[in-house]
Chain A
Amino acid sequence: MKRIGVFVCHCGINIAETVDVKRVAEEVLKMPGVVYTQDYIYMCSDPGQALVRKKIKEEKLDAVIIAACSPNLHESTFRAAAEEAGLNPWQCEIANIREQCSWIHSNRKKATEKAIKIVGTIVEKSRLNESLEPIPVLIKKKALVIGGGIAGIQSALDIADSGYKVILVEKESSIGGHMAQLSETFPTLDCSQCILTPKMVAAGKHQNIELMTYSEIEEVSGYVGNFNVKIRRKAPFVDWDKCTGCGLCMEKCPAKVPSVFDRELTTHGAIYVPFPQAVPNKPVIDKDSCIYFKTGKCRLCEKVCEINAIDFEQEDRFVEEEIGAIIVATGYDTLPIVDLAEYGAGDIPDVIDGLAFERLLSASGPTVGEVKRPSDGMVPKEVVFVQCAGSRDPERYRPYCSKICCMYTTKHALLYKHRVHDGQPYIFYIDIRTGGKGYEEFYHNAEEEEGIIYLRGKVAKIFRDGDKTVVWGTDTLTGRNVEIEADLVVLATAVIPTDSTAELVKKLRIQTGPNGFLAEAHPKLRPVESINSGFFLAGAAQGPKDIPETVAQASAAACKVISLFSRDHLEQDPAIAWVDEDLCNGCQTCVPVCPYDAREYDEEKNIVIVNEALCEGCGSCVAACPSGATQMRNLSDSQIKSMITASLGGK
């Protein structure tokens, strides 16, 4: 019979306060196969682990059980310790007497009884456990980065610089994301283009980066190290290999399309590049706006293009790639003003959002950096900024803080003052949140030196009165309501996840949190990875973030990928399903129940086999198999039966 050792942890007082750990150790020692038991205050500590290692050798143990916290926390810790002492790691089991016992009970006597039963169950399992070997899986050392904002660009550059290949997929025709729209950036007021465009160019030229702009993810299958990705390359109706980017076509195109990049403050033709510094600097034809595609007549662009790069016959293409790891960096959007009924629902021309104001401030924007209001081009002298427009409003809009608006609104007011010296900015706010390096100082400077009036209160209503826009707010600091007849109102609209992210996560089968942002595996300890292995997160797609934080996370995600790629192969947990070929009759009942597509029908043998790299060991197939051909390693039917008996207190 196996010689089993059981180690009972006090977890400080977390367990010991509710469970009589000494008694657990005593009782468990009476169970068949258990030859040694010991309790200890912190099993996971260095001396705790040393104790386990020492006793494995001294007592010649064949298996150990650690009765402690959830296996999520320390299973790998103790398996490593067991392995160090010469034991097969799968001969180490965890009995969870904290989350499943001490934390949820208060009656010491009953809790102790329950703890003894929990350990007893694991003893039963342990007796029949086999020694297993991890399954090696090869890694395709090529990364996919989805989203070409500053996050995606940074991740791609970092991975590419370390020598691995990267495909950077961007749905628009140029990379750059929102940062390309910004004028100057807090807290240092660097010109956004000046710090971004060199990175865009670097990404465009890097020999290890393959840019796929105007492209979207169509399908993803496979698993960490071995994804198969199908990418749709949308037809730009321009042969980019031929096109020199001369721009003649764009000059001649008679169509007028509101520019998304310029927040609809300007228009461009149906054939366009979103902004002059685009990478790649190649136009696309927007099929929905193109006169030729709508009416069958026009083709002006084709006529003016001297090298015949226009190609109306182009169709979407698909490419397939084998990928080892995926970084999702699809960024954010902002809440449309239309959703904010009390702020005019988008009907007041001089109520704009922060990104539109960025365009008005930008030297390369529609007004060449002069602040002019949309309705009549007047230089506004009284400008009201409204923070938390749709943020921190759990009843009607978004419950969370959008995090960046406090800082960019102060920046807006400041830049406005730099451009319109006799203008007056007012900022309505609920709180000013400036927790970043140099941020509080930035805010203080704005308040002290620039004469910006901060008003503590949320704006209730904005309406049009003649050419003025009336703002009804309050100032809780004086206890007085405030009314301002503004020339221009800028709303710091909530940062929201993009619609395309929602579609994408379905294809990737990764999770989002309650607010629609990508979910991280652990909010503190694993903030840049998805719970699904092989997927990493970067930038505002994971939650509202400014550029410094975005870049930090992007580099961190890249690091995770590089660390993955630095190994020759991955080790897959062998405690997964296997098929007894003699018993399987090829009925395929199990195939559709597997949530991970790990069941494959082998026609030749008329059996189903397990793709070991995909199987997560969930057990659905075991339950579904009518002939008992499918079993879980180290969780066989006979193990489960004796565990149930033990848990009911039987012998």
Chain B
Amino acid sequence: MSENMGLAPPRNPPIKLTRKKVRAGFKKRVIELSGQPVDACYQCGNCSSGCPLAQEMSILPNRIIRLVQLGQKDDIIHNDTIWICASCFQCTVRCPKGIDIQAVMDTLRQIALEEGVDHFGPDQIDPEHAAEVPQPGLVGVYRKLST
């Protein structure tokens, strides 16, 4: 098939699965960095059911884990979910398979930041607000959401 130059990509192309995709590259890196056995996730959805920020996310946490299992980096790092997660560990303490989802979220933020998806910079905060918020909030937000 010749390379298509003019048309926009289809809205929902199939995922083409290969050995490489589900064992190497992005997925492998997530597993190594987070130390989490993401393949153990059996998609029970408990992490999403109890996530206090679920209502703010366009993809729920369990599906983020699922996308990691299938090596879908772009679907994850260009999505708002990893930036909305507040690292509250609610999911982590409840996962029946012992997966620290929060750690996976942290890893995904780190990878996204490495890829240049800088989500939140000092310029985005209003100075009045910055003068009030206790330091852990400021340090936390910069550590988690920006390079």
Contacts and interface: CB of A to CB of B under 8 A. Distances in A.
Interface of A: 381-382, 422-424, 426, 444, 447-448, 451-456, 472, 475, 477-478, 480-485
B15 A481 contact: yes
Contacts of B69: 453
A453 B40 contact: no
A484 B17 contact: yes
Given A381-B19, A448-B40, 9 more contacts: A424-B18, A424-B19, A447-B40, A451-B23, A454-B42, A475-B70, A478-B66, A478-B70, A480-B14
11 contacts: A382-B19, A448-B40, A451-B39, A453-B69, A456-B43, A475-B15, A475-B66, A478-B66, A481-B12, A483-B14, A484-B18
Given A453-B70, A456-B43, A482 B23 contact: no
Given A447-B42, A478-B66, A483 B12 contact: no
A424 B13 CA distance: 22
Given A424-B22, A448-B37, A478-B72, A483 B43 contact: no
A482 B42 contact: no
Interface string B41-80: 0110000000000000000000100110110100100000
Interface of B: 12-19, 22-23, 37, 39-40, 42-43, 63, 66-67, 69-70, 72, 75, 97
A381 B75 CA distance: 26
A343 B137 CA distance: 56
Contacts of A426: 17
Nearest to B19: A424
Nearest to A383: B19
A483 B63 contact: no
Contacts of A423: 19
Contacts of B63: 477-478
A426 B17 CA distance: 9
A481 to B, nearest CB: 4
A423 B18 CA distance: 10
A486 to B, nearest CB: 10
Nearest to B63: A478
Contacts of B72: 478, 480
B15 A480 contact: yes
Contacts of A478: 15, 63, 66-67, 70, 72, 75
A455 B69 CA distance: 10
Contacts of A447: 39-40, 42
Given A448-B37, A483-B14, A424 B42 contact: no
Given A444-B40, A451-B23, A453-B22, A477 B66 contact: yes
B50 to A, nearest CB: 18
